[in-house]
Amino acid sequence: MGALAGATMRHIDPGALVENDRVHRSVYTDPEVFELEMERIWGKAWIFVGHESQVREPGQYFATSIARQPIILVRDNNGALQVLFNRCAHKGAMLVGDQCGKVKELRCCYHGWRFDLSGTLISIPLEKGYDCTGFGRGDPQANLQRAPRWASYRGFVFASLSEEGPDLISWLGGAASSIDNMVDRAPEGDLEVAGGVLRFEHDSNWKFFVENLNDLMHPMVAHQSSSLTARSLAKKMLPPDRPPPAAIEILSPFTESYGFFDEMGLHAFDYGHGYSGGKTSIHARYSDIPEYNRRMEAAYGKDRTAEILAVNRHNTVIYPSMTIKGAIQTMRVVKPVAVNKTIIESWTFRLKGAPDELLRRSILYCNLINSSANLVGPDDQEAYWRQQCGLESVASEWVSMHRDAGQDEEIAPGHFYAKGSSDLAFRNQYRAWRGYMVDEGSPQ
């Protein structure tokens, strides 16, 4: 904690805020808990930065943030990835003011200090003024500062603001298999970001979103207004002898039965990661795209194709910053802004070698479900906002995660399973939250 922040903040005991089956309301409402999360969770964990397809060529950059700090992902002239703080070494201005682009070097718009693509200071106007000052070229402090660690897993680039901690692959653990499956769905075995990004500002704490994704007791209730309405209109207005339009295929399963969501099941791993679905999910009954199947079989053979496409996961949470849906090639990235403000970015991927229909379906999915101006996502946003307001009350200090507590099944070391209606995902995320927040030295 910074000296000033430490002097002004009261003492918080995060360990007292989480129990096995309930969590204290202040984890969602207290600005000081939020500041501590930025330092101990977002400042330590591997945080998703960008996808390699966004920076394929030297000089291409993508500007993002980690724990609210501006960051640039850039490909340098040697073809290596660099993760740099977006802060001029001179007087602190961000080097890059837009989100993406291509440059030969990084030049500050304010006083013209120039840095190469790996962050080394190249030149200063009227450089002589720095003679004998102890600051200037050759001084590491006069270069752009690098994130302490970064690594890429199958094109997904993560960085950590902590020097220490597990390597990326050990940290991803069983959740890496969801990234594998999304990439394996490409006939050419590679993904690229395509189709733009949707940014959706939520007036609520970041954890409501990451908890919601594997809360399988909410869709059939929260999404009645969108999904059930779409179902009943389709039944009334569409000819029964023709296949339903893609929008109806996408919207309808949100109001499947409790039994359906129970069957999907929940999987949980260390560090808060987990996924729902597997054998089935809300994506399992989308219409076939025969040309896609043909290209997959040409690339992988019949058996391997069947194996890849049989993996039907719903949401995978790579806690705390990234969530993916492999079956529909979408990703949502979490950007906490304040204790009661979060930006959720929705991205879509092109499966390289696949017909365009797949990307079109992913974009349609994001427009229908994840956009701020559409159907399903705003149902969730309303629920998070009501939680944010409701938890300001002193009616109770605790928020429940009791459902099926004590019944989580360890099916492999560190791999827990429960039926879909369980609160397993909540309990697992707070096990990680506690690990990061309580032990200042080492996460989990």
**Is residue 256 a contact point for Fe ion (CB under 5 A)?**
no
Q: How far apart are CA 416 and CA 268, in angstroms?
A: 5
CB nearer to Fe ion: give 44 or 313: 313
CB of 222 to Fe ion, least distance (A): 5
CB nearer to Fe ion: give 47 or 344: 344
CB nearer to Fe ion: give 270 or 380: 380
Length of the chain in terms of residues written: 444
CB of 254 to Fe ion, least distance (A): 7
Q: What residues from 71 to 90 belong to the interface with Fe ion (CB under 5 A)? A: none
Judged by CB under 5 A, the stretch of 35-43, 165-173, 191-199, 375-383 that binds Fe ion is 375-383
Q: How far apart are CA 259 and CA 213, in angstroms?
A: 18
Judged by CB under 5 A, the stretch of 77-85, 105-113, 228-236, 379-387 that binds Fe ion is 379-387
| Whether the Cβ atoms of residue 206 and residue 27 lie closer than 8 Å to each other | no
Pairing of strands 312-318, 47-51: unpaired
Judged by CB under 5 A, the stretch of 175-183, 316-324, 372-380, 428-436 that binds Fe ion is 372-380
Q: How far apart are CA 20 and CA 18, in angstroms?
A: 7
| Whether the Cβ atoms of residue 42 and residue 66 lie closer than 8 Å to each other | yes
Longest dimension (CA), the chain: 84
Omega before 290 within 30 of 0, i.e. cis = no
The residue sitting closest to Fe ion, measured at its beta carbon, is 380
CB of 28 to Fe ion, least distance (A): 18
Judged by CB under 5 A, the stretch of 67-75, 328-336, 373-381, 402-410 that binds Fe ion is 373-381
CB nearer to Fe ion: give 282 or 391: 282
Angle at 276 between CA 272 and CA 279, to 5 degrees: 140
| Binding flags for Fe ion, 28-47, as an x/- string (CB under 5 A) | --------------------
| Whether the Cβ atoms of residue 422 and residue 408 lie closer than 8 Å to each other | yes
Token output for 420: 């879909």
* φ/ψ of residue 106, rounded to 5: -105, 115
Judged by CB under 5 A, the stretch of 138-146, 242-250, 347-355, 376-384 that binds Fe ion is 376-384
CB of 83 to Fe ion, least distance (A): 32
CB nearer to Fe ion: give 225 or 293: 225
Q: What residues from 97 to 126 belong to the interface with Fe ion (CB under 5 A)? A: none
CB nearer to Fe ion: give 18 or 366: 366
3-state secondary structure of 218: coil
CB of 273 to Fe ion, least distance (A): 19
CB of 376 to Fe ion, least distance (A): 6
Angle at 287 between CA 286 and CA 289, to 5 degrees: 120
CB nearer to Fe ion: give 340 or 370: 370
CB of 414 to Fe ion, least distance (A): 28
CB nearer to Fe ion: give 249 or 380: 380
Q: How far apart are CA 362 and CA 327, in angstroms?
A: 9
**Positive or negative torsion for Cα 33, 39, 43, 49:** positive
CB nearer to Fe ion: give 218 or 341: 218
Judged by CB under 5 A, the stretch of 162-170, 262-270, 377-385, 390-398 that binds Fe ion is 377-385
| Whether the Cβ atoms of residue 161 and residue 50 lie closer than 8 Å to each other | no
Place of tokens 């977006």: 86
CB nearer to Fe ion: give 136 or 390: 390
CB nearer to Fe ion: give 380 or 423: 380
Q: How far apart are CA 364 and CA 346, in angstroms?
A: 12
CB of 212 to Fe ion, least distance (A): 6
Query: Total binding residues for Fe ion by CB under 5 A?
Result: 1
**Angle subtended by helix axes 356-365 and 290-300, to nearest 10:** 120
Judged by CB under 5 A, the stretch of 1-9, 259-267, 322-330, 374-382 that binds Fe ion is 374-382
CB of 81 to Fe ion, least distance (A): 34
| Whether the Cβ atoms of residue 329 and residue 323 lie closer than 8 Å to each other | no
Pairing of strands 415-418, 266-268: antiparallel
| Whether the Cβ atoms of residue 365 and residue 329 lie closer than 8 Å to each other | no
**Positive or negative torsion for Cα 285, 286, 291, 296:** negative
**Is residue 380 a contact point for Fe ion (CB under 5 A)?**
yes
CB of 342 to Fe ion, least distance (A): 15
CB of 380 to Fe ion, least distance (A): 4
The binding site for Fe ion (CB under 5 A) comprises 380
